[in-house]
Amino acid sequence: MSTIYITGHRNPDFDSIASAFVYAHLKSRVDPENEYIAVRCGNLNAQTRTTFEKIKLKAPRYLKDVKTVVADVVNREVPRLEVSDPLQTAIGLLDDTGLSLLPVFDKNSNYRGIISSAEISHFLMRETFGARPTYRFRTENLSKVVPGRMLFSGESPEFTAPIMIGAMPYERSVERIAALETNRPLLIVGLRRDLVEYAITHDFPAVILTGATTKEAAELDFSLYKGSVYLSDVDTAETIRLLRFSTPLEGILETEAEHLDVGDDFNQAKKALSASGRRGLPVFDEEQFIGIVSRGSFLDRPRKNLILVDHNELDQSISGARDANILEIIDHHRVGSVMSREAFSLYTRPVGCTCTIIRQLYRQHGIAIPTEIAKLMISAILSDTVLLKSPTTTEEDRQTVEGLSRHAGIDWLEWGQEMFDSGARLADINPDLVVSGDFKTYESRDVRFGIGQVEVQTLGDLDEVIPRLNSSLLKIKENKALDGTMLLITDVMKDDSILLLRGLEDAADSLPYELSEEGVWNLPGILSRKKQLLPEILRAVDETRSKNR
């Protein structure tokens, strides 16, 4: 099963949010083999949020981007080790799985560190240099590594000690043991009663008997011994070789290894792994261990699957869209330049709303539209066409609204008026959000400008907010390095608009609208940014550029 994200454009309006939600519903029924997830790449405006709540639907979740991140390549199916596990268990798992590292946890499942060939090599090599090595032993690990059986366990389940072999004559052995001073050894010895008794009386932490049966070992007096006695089924040399691999991981693992986060960028994580000098790194989601990545994780870069609705230009889409696999585009705007690595399906019609197109796709696939989905589609069409009064409205939009209204059992005009009434007052909204909420950028003859649009029930509070809106227009102009910024404020009840403009001074003089005050124009009968305002702005820009040549 593949995951496919469906998203509208940045600074989403109602249609952008609703189209993603509705199309995800349709695709999930047409293609249940894949997972379709509706997402949004911007905030919900008041009208959209209120309508979703009214219909009792959950709006698409916010998704920052669709860039490839560590979460897309992390190996989550990783065996886990405990700090008490013997080294041999880790070596076996690394060999069996072919993994470059394994995570190690304590008994409470708290992450403690990693074990890899680097830590194992360091452990095995360090005993070659310097003083006589000591080892950490855990008595329960002996039977996991050394063939044999525990005769009895002592008072200390874990201890640190050097290894001593009882192969020399008694006096020489005692001399060597005495040279260790207080560092009492683990003794590996055959059936030598003298050395065993010495180990008992001097409180050695453990004795491993080689070449002895249980019956023979029982003849030795261990009644006063507080240590552990283990009977090895292999010879002394093999016992010594295996014994080191019974060492618990706690003293071998790397506790300070750097780690990656699931949200780290693919390329940055690849560089971090290379710079670490390791073959792999652990991956976390905040404080929670998730899995591991290795060098092989970064050989191929996976790309997220994406369907675009209500837009077709990647500059207007979710961040990372250029690196995604574009599977489909459903839109009612002019088609711009879409750079895609693979062929994709394109559904476009000159209608007033993307949901109008999706209604036809429901019909093509023979999928019934649930009542709540029908209400959402009606709301989107009425929002995008301003109650079917915008010049972008087509007969197909009207028929779609009427048909869906009969299906949902509602009066579309009453429903639409209530929806517009639910919008917040202009004076109550952050001016930056008013300008950027539905803001689109355009370019003509090397002139870059942006137009935002907001729909209101009344222009009565406009005078008190114009200074703040102008400040926000200047701010976005500077932040986006635009030549001009505009805000079209549409009164949906009177079918009129007001235009605020900052920049493009020469082009502004060519606009065919009444200037009511500096930077403010009256636009009676203007409802559509795309069909009514934009053509005039483009004409004015072209005329100005021609005159200045």
**pLDDT tens, position by position, 426-451:** 777 788 888 888 888 898 888 999 99
Query: How is residue 125 written in tokens?
Result: 């090599």
Closest residue by Cα to residue 345 from 308, 302, 318: 308
Residue 382 to residue 231: CA distance in whole angstroms: 85
pLDDT, tens digit, for every residue of 204-215? Answer: 999 999 999 888
pLDDT at 128 over 80: no
Within a domain: residue 289?
no
Q: Name the burial class of residue 188, with classes exposed (0-12), middle (13-18) and buried (19+) by CB atoms within 10 angstroms of its CB.
A: buried
CB 532 within 8 A of CB 451: no
Query: How is residue 88 written in tokens?
Result: 């041999």
439: amino acid identity, one letter = F
Arithmetic mean of pLDDT over the chain = 91
Residue 439 to residue 185: CA distance in whole angstroms: 77
323: amino acid identity, one letter = D
The rounded percent of the chain whose pLDDT value lies above 90 is 70
Could you tell me the pLDDT band of residue 424, with boundaries at 50, 70 and 90? low
Residue 34 to residue 455: CA distance in whole angstroms: 37
| Same structural domain, 112 and 239 | yes
Closest residue by Cα to residue 377 from 463, 309, 455: 309
408 Cβ contact list (under 8 Å, min separation 6): 371, 374, 375, 378
| Same structural domain, 416 and 508 | no
Within a domain: residue 295?
no
Higher pLDDT, 369 or 47: 369
pLDDT of amino acid 448: 93
Range of the domain at 353: 3-68+303-421
CATH of the domain at 464: 3.10.310.20
| Same structural domain, 60 and 90 | no
Within a domain: residue 280?
no
Mean pLDDT throughout 133-151? 93
Q: What is the CA radius of gyration of the chain?
A: 37
| Same structural domain, 199 and 221 | yes
The three-class DSSP label of residue 71 is helix
Closest residue by Cα to residue 257 from 121, 103, 136: 103
| Same structural domain, 393 and 451 | no
Q: How far is CA 385 from CA 79, 468, 528, in A?
A: 56, 28, 8
Could you tell me the pLDDT band of residue 28, with boundaries at 50, 70 and 90? very high
Residue 362 to residue 355: CA distance in whole angstroms: 10
pLDDT, tens digit, for every residue of 300-355? Answer: 999 999 999 999 888 889 999 988 999 999 999 888 766 666 778 899 999 999 99
236 Cβ contact list (under 8 Å, min separation 6): 165, 167, 188, 190, 210, 211
pLDDT, tens digit, for every residue of 482-528? Answer: 999 999 998 877 788 999 999 998 888 889 999 988 899 999 988 88
| Same structural domain, 330 and 440 | no
Given 421, 440, 458, which residue is the final one in a domain?
421
Asked whether the CA dihedral 3, 9, 10, 12 is positive or negative, the reply is negative
pLDDT at 549 over 70: no
| Same structural domain, 340 and 482 | no
| Same structural domain, 98 and 224 | yes
247 Cβ contact list (under 8 Å, min separation 6): 86, 87, 123, 135, 136, 137, 141
**How many residues are recorded in the chain?**
549
Question: Tokens 């870069």 belong to which residue?
Answer: 301
pLDDT of amino acid 456: 82
| Same structural domain, 148 and 180 | yes
The three-class DSSP label of residue 421 is helix
Query: Within a 10 A sphere around the Cβ of 181, how many other Cβ atoms?
Result: 7
Higher pLDDT, 549 or 9: 9
Within a domain: residue 101?
yes
Least confident of 26-40, 71-85, 443-457: 443-457
Predicted TM-score (pTM) of the model is: 0.69
- What is the crossing angle of helices 354-365 and 395-408, to 10°? 60
Given 421, 443, 461, which residue is the final one in a domain?
421
pLDDT of amino acid 548: 66
Number of domains comprising the chain: 3
The three-class DSSP label of residue 278 is coil
Mean pLDDT throughout 105-119? 94
Helices (H), 36-77: 46-55
CATH of the domain at 400: 3.90.1640.10
117: amino acid identity, one letter = S
Within a domain: residue 397?
yes
| Same structural domain, 470 and 500 | yes
pLDDT of amino acid 124: 85
Could you tell me the pLDDT band of residue 51, with boundaries at 50, 70 and 90? very high
Q: Name the burial class of residue 283, with classes exposed (0-12), middle (13-18) and buried (19+) by CB atoms within 10 angstroms of its CB.
A: buried
The rounded percent of the chain whose pLDDT value lies above 70 is 97
Classify each residue of 142-178 as buried b or exposed e, where b means 16 or more C-beta atoms within 10 Å of its C-beta.
beebbebeebeebebeebebebbbbeeeeeebeeebe
Residue 459 to residue 421: CA distance in whole angstroms: 13
Within a domain: residue 274?
no
Within a domain: residue 487?
yes
Q: How far is CA 24 from CA 9, 78, 308, 320, in A?
A: 15, 33, 11, 20
